[in-house]
Amino acid sequence: MDANSYNQNQSVLETVTQFAHMDRVGSSQVGVVNELTYLGACTTCDGSSESEILRRIGIVRNCMTLLEKHVWKSHIRVDTKVRLYQTCVLPVLVYGSDAWTITKALARRLDAFDTMVSTKIIRISYTRHVTIASVRETTDCRPVSSIIKTRRLRFLGHVARRLHFRQDRQSAISAWLQPPRDWRRPRGRPRTTWP
């Protein structure tokens, strides 16, 4: 790569995003960003998932608005509307939730948004005082927080089954729990594994 094309690529990167700072990796400069969207999921440098969850809620709110006239306010049966929500809209909300860090406040926010969407689907006015349990009973839907918990546990099971070697198992356990005080990384390079 010649210097001219490198400078053009660098200027394109700088116009697309603002770097938080530059780090040196080997002999090249690498830009570090505060937020990165990769494969449709937003990752922040502090590990928080709040911005991604709020972004997902906004996307689903837009989807609900687009479908409101022709689907949600139409004369389609309620169970068909619920199935449409569960198959077309809900996956947009929980995409990438396997890696989210969720606080109780974010879980309550997701559940409140899901309840609001469910009441819109079954056409209950916000002035009627209906309990969340009756809305869940009518739609026969689980709360989004329990769906995300199930997805995270399923992902954890995949990771746990992948841990064939002692070193991989020890490093994963230390990531999930506090590592044992006597654990040290073994000498040498880790063994190469092929799936």
Rounded to whole angstroms, how far apart are CA atoms 87 and 6?
Answer: 45
Q: Phi, psi at residue 44, to the nearest 5°? A: -105, 160
Report domain extents, the chain: 19-48, 50-152
Looking at the chain, list the stretches that DSSP marks H as alpha helix, in order from N- to C-terminal side: 3-16, 50-67, 78-84, 90-94, 104-121, 132-139, 144-162, 166-176
Work out the angle at residue 150's Cα, subtended by the Cα atoms of residues 146 and 156, and round it to the nearest 5 degrees.
140
Residues 6 or more apart whose Cβ sits within 8 Å of residue 109: 53, 57
| Element of type H or E holding 36 | strand 35-38
pLDDT in tens, the chain (195 residues): 455 544 444 443 444 456 666 667 778 877 777 777 778 888 787 778 888 999 999 999 999 999 888 888 888 898 899 999 999 999 999 998 888 888 899 999 999 999 999 988 888 887 888 888 888 888 888 999 999 999 988 887 877 776 666 666 666 666 666 656 777 777 887 766 554
Token pair for residue 126? Answer: 């916000």
Rounded to whole angstroms, how far apart are CA atoms 25 and 178?
Answer: 30
Token pair for residue 77? Answer: 């049966």
Token pair for residue 112? Answer: 């409140």
